[in-house]
Amino acid sequence: MSNNVKEVSEIEFNELLKGSMPVVCDFFANWCGPCKMLAPVLDAVAEELKDKAAFVKVNVDDNESLAVKYRISSIPCVKIFVGGEEKAQNLGFVPKQMLQAFIESNL
């Protein structure tokens, strides 16, 4: 389990969206191979950018209403929320440099 990316419930997620800090959320499932590959990559990016955004993950199996609300049809899906609104998303596994560039450009 990552140290920099906290798994959150729907209630915690909704509270984070009300805050002033951007939220980077990885929608994942425990059975998903690419999700397992992405986890340490996102953790590394979160370590470098932890002062710029809140990094969380949402299990789509445990939080189906969030998965429906944000139209998660494929995982892993990293979404960036700024001011409580969805700003960008990245589907599937990507290397650290690409993920970091995607996140930085959308914060």
What is the CATH classification number for the domain harbouring 38? 3.40.30.10
Please report the pLDDT score of residue 1 as a whole number.
Answer: 45
Please report the pLDDT score of residue 2 as a whole number.
Answer: 52
DSSP-derived 3-state class of residue 41: helix
Can you tell me the distance from the alpha carbon of 11 to that of 56, in angstroms, rounded to the nearest whole number? 13
Block means of pLDDT (10 residues each) for the chain, length 107 residues?
86 96 98 97 97 97 97 97 97 97 97
pTM for the structure as a whole? 0.95
Domain with 41, as residue range(s), is 6-106
In a domain, 1, yes or no: no
Can you tell me the distance from the alpha carbon of 17 to that of 91, in angstroms, rounded to the nearest whole number? 21
Report CA Rg, the chain: 12
Number of structural domains (the chain) is 1
In a domain, 55, yes or no: yes
Q: Which of 34, 52, 50 is nearest to 95 (CA)?
A: 34
In a domain, 37, yes or no: yes
Can you tell me the distance from the alpha carbon of 56 to that of 83, in angstroms, rounded to the nearest whole number? 16
In a domain, 10, yes or no: yes
In a domain, 14, yes or no: yes
Tokens 């939220």 correspond to: 23
> Angle at CA 52, nearest 5°, toward 50 and 54?
60
Active centre residues (catalytic): 32, 35
